[in-house]
């Protein structure tokens, strides 16, 4: 069995026990509220991780952010897949290939204009596409207004399209990432549910079936107190958590299941710089905590057992060099604390972004490397 010291660095570590606790906590919450999960797999993009997710929660299906993810997970045995990025006519052929192969693929749209073009492409492919209408519940990104006229117009167009089937409504309350307290997240979750269930009711009142009412973001899923009327919840980053979620109050540092293992490769003693071989290629360029009360730089530095070292952080990153420095207000780092060749673990700002920089997880149990789990990439 490999030890952490045997790994060539940088390497992406996955603490399986921490992940399992995250999976169980979310599943318990959502199931207790009478709902099932359709977790977003864009965070991990790994069939091995999904196996643990399925062992610890009841899933309706999975959510993907690319059709490439759909290909990968369908090839691995997943059938019920929601592609949760607005479909364009140019991707209908790819979606049709999946459906013809037996995948229960559902797509989304938030545009009456797109519906016409997608219908034409679906007809050309001679395929039927199940469609959810995407709602905007918080001004975060995409979606039609839950209480506006476009919702009904979209449903009308989908119902009138020979190759499209209206399955329901979905939203992603990404605005929850801007909340400043747990109370705000709780309110955001109530708003997400209320507006989405309300939109479903409007569709039913207008004579449409609306079997699917799908919501989800990790913060709102963690603090929702009521999911009545909701049929599925789609959190993703809860699988691993990260510093951004910790800064939001949604997780503790000890809940973060992924970290990057690096080795000290140099010192700049007079500056108090410890240089490691994990730069932005290993961490990603994500600086999501920059605007939070606690700016974590490019990551929180931990010892080999994963214990945070509080007075320093990964303050600077080049492509293959990371620089560990004192946090603002702390005295300059005595570089002798981290000798050349010693190893550190770095907690990431954003688990989705950091994991995407690696082709595999080094899976830890009891600080031993028990497996290598591959992950998929690209489009």
Per CB under 8 A, the segment of 55-63, 82-90, 189-197, 198-206 that binds a copy of itself is 82-90
d(CA 203, CA 95): 26
* Residue 91 near a copy of itself by CB under 8 A: yes
Compute the least distance from the CB of residue 362 to a copy of itself, in Å.
11
Q: Does 216 bind a copy of itself (CB under 8 A)?
A: no
For residue 313, give every residue at least 6 positions away whose Cβ sits within 8 Å of its Cβ, in sequence order, or none. Answer: 296, 297, 298, 299, 300, 301, 324, 325, 327
What's the rounded Cα separation, in Å, for the pair 296 and 244?
9
Could you give the CA distance from residue 8 to residue 290 in angstroms, rounded to a whole number?
30
- Whichever of 67 and 364 has its CB closer to a copy of itself, that residue is 67
- As a whole number of angstroms, the distance between CA 196 and CA 259 comes to 35
Stretch that binds a copy of itself, among 74-82, 136-144, 189-197, 215-223 (CB under 8 A): 136-144
- Where would I find the H helices in the chain? 16-32, 47-56, 67-75, 92-100, 112-125, 149-160, 182-205, 218-223, 243-248, 280-283, 351-355
Closest to 177 in 3D by CA, of 252, 243, 248? 248
Q: Which of 21, 56, 59, 117 binds a copy of itself (CB under 8 A)?
A: 117
Among 44, 186, 345, 358, binds a copy of itself (CB under 8 A): 358
76 interacts with a copy of itself by CB under 8 A: no
Q: Which stretch binds a copy of itself (CB under 8 A): 18-26, 55-63, 154-162, 280-288?
A: 280-288
Count of other CB atoms within 10 angstroms of residue 49:
25
Gap between the Cα atoms of 29 and 37, Å rounded: 10
266 touching a copy of itself, by CB under 8 A:
yes
Q: Whose Cβ is closer to a copy of itself: residue 65's or residue 231's?
A: 65
User: Following DSSP, what letter does each residue of 153-208 receive, concatenated?
Assistant: HHHHHHHH-TTEEEEEEEE--GGGGG--SHHHHHHHHHHHHHHHHHHHHHHHHTT-
Q: Is 318 in the site for a copy of itself (CB under 8 A)?
A: yes
> Using the rule CB under 8 A, is 9 a contact of a copy of itself?
yes
The residue with tokens 């499209």 is 164
Q: Which of residues 153-192 bind a copy of itself (CB under 8 A)?
A: 174
Residue 378 found at the interface with a copy of itself (CB under 8 A): yes
59, 86, 190, 253: which one contacts a copy of itself (CB under 8 A)? 86
Q: Which of 22, 46, 63, 111 binds a copy of itself (CB under 8 A)?
A: 111
| Distance linking the first and last C-alpha atoms of the chain | 34
- Residue 304 binding a copy of itself, by CB under 8 A: no
Q: Is 320 in the site for a copy of itself (CB under 8 A)?
A: yes
CB of residue 146 to a copy of itself, shortest distance in Å: 14
In angstroms, rounded to a whole number, what is the distance separating the alpha carbons of residues 156 and 144? 14
Residues that bind a copy of itself (CB under 8 A): 5, 8-11, 42, 65-67, 85-91, 94, 110-111, 113-114, 117, 136, 139, 141-142, 174, 263-268, 271, 275, 277, 280-282, 284-287, 318-321, 323, 339-341, 352-353, 356-359, 377-379
């Amino acid at each position: 069995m490999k030890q952490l010291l045997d790994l060539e660095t940088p390497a992406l570590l996955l603490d399986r026990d921490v992940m399992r606790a995250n999976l169980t906590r979310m599943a318990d919450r959502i199931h207790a509220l009478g709902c099932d999960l359709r977790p977003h797999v864009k965070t991990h993009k790994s069939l091995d991780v999904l196996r643990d997710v399925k062992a610890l929660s009841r899933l309706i299906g999975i959510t993907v952010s690319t059709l490439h993810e759909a290909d990968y997970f369908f090839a691995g045995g997943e059938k019920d897949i929601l592609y949760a990025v607005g479909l364009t006519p140019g991707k209908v052929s790819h979606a049709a290939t999946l459906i013809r192969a037996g995948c229960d693929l559902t797509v989304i749209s938030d545009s009456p204009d797109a519906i016409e073009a997608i219908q034409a492409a679906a007809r050309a492919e001679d395929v039927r596409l199940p469609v959810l209408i995407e709602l905007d519940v918080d001004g975060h990104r995409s979606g039609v207004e839950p209480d506006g006229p476009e919702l009904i117009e979209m449903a009308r167009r989908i119902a009138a399209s020979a190759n499209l089937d209206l399955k329901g409504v979905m939203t992603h309350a990404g605005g929850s990432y801007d909340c400043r307290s747990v109370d705000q997240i709780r309110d955001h979750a109530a708003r997400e549910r209320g507006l989405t269930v309300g939109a479903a009711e409007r569709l039913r009142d207008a004579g449409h079936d609306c079997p699917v009412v799908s919501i989800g973001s990790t913060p709102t899923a963690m603090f929702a107190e009521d999911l009545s009327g909701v049929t599925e919840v789609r959190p993703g980053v809860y699988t691993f958590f990260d510093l951004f979620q910790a800064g939001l109050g949604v997780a503790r540092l000890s809940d973060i299941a992924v970290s990057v293992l690096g080795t000290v490769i140099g010192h700049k003693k007079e500056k108090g710089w410890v240089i490691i071989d994990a730069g932005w290629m290993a961490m990603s360029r994500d600086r999501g905590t920059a605007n939070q009360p606690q700016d974590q730089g490019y990551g929180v530095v931990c010892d080999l057992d994963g214990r945070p070292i509080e007075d320093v952080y990964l303050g600077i990153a080049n492509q293959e060099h990371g620089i560990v420095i004192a946090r603002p207000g702390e005295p300059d780092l005595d570089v002798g604390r981290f000798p050349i060749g010693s190893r550190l673990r770095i907690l990431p700002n954003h688990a989705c972004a950091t994991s995407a920089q690696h082709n595999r997880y080094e899976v830890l149990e009891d600080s031993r490397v028990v497996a290598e789990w591959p992950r998929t990439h690209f489009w």
